[in-house]
Amino acid sequence: MVLNYFGNGAFRLQSGDTSVLVNPENNRLKADVTLRTLVATENPLAAEATAGSDGTAVAAQTIAFPGEYEVKKIEILGYPVAAESTEKYLKTVYSVYWEGMKFVFLGHLSKPVDAALMEELLEPDMLILPVGGGHFLEPEIAAKVAKQLEARIIVPSFYKNPDEFLKALGKKAERTDKFVFKQKDIIGDKGRPIVLSAG
Instruction: For residue 171, give its domain range.
Output: 2-196
Q: What percent of the chain has pLDDT over 90?
A: 85
In this model, does residue 12 exceed pLDDT 80?
yes
pLDDT at 43: 58
Rounded Cα distance between 178 and 174, Å, is 11
Rounded Cα distance between 8 and 11, Å, is 9
What total of structural domains would you count in the chain?
1
Average of per-residue pLDDT across 151-174? 96
pLDDT at 60: 63
Average of per-residue pLDDT across 139-165? 97
pLDDT at 37: 97
pLDDT at 51: 35
- CATH code, domain with 170: 3.60.15.10
pLDDT digits 0-9 by tens, 120-137: 999 999 999 999 999 999
37-46, 84-93, 164-173: the lowest-pLDDT one: 37-46
In this model, does residue 141 exceed pLDDT 50?
yes
Q: Where are the beta strands (DSSP E) in the chain?
A: 2-5, 11-15, 18-22, 33-35, 38-40, 48-51, 57-63, 67-71, 74-80, 89-98, 101-105, 126-130, 153-157, 174-176, 178-180, 192-196
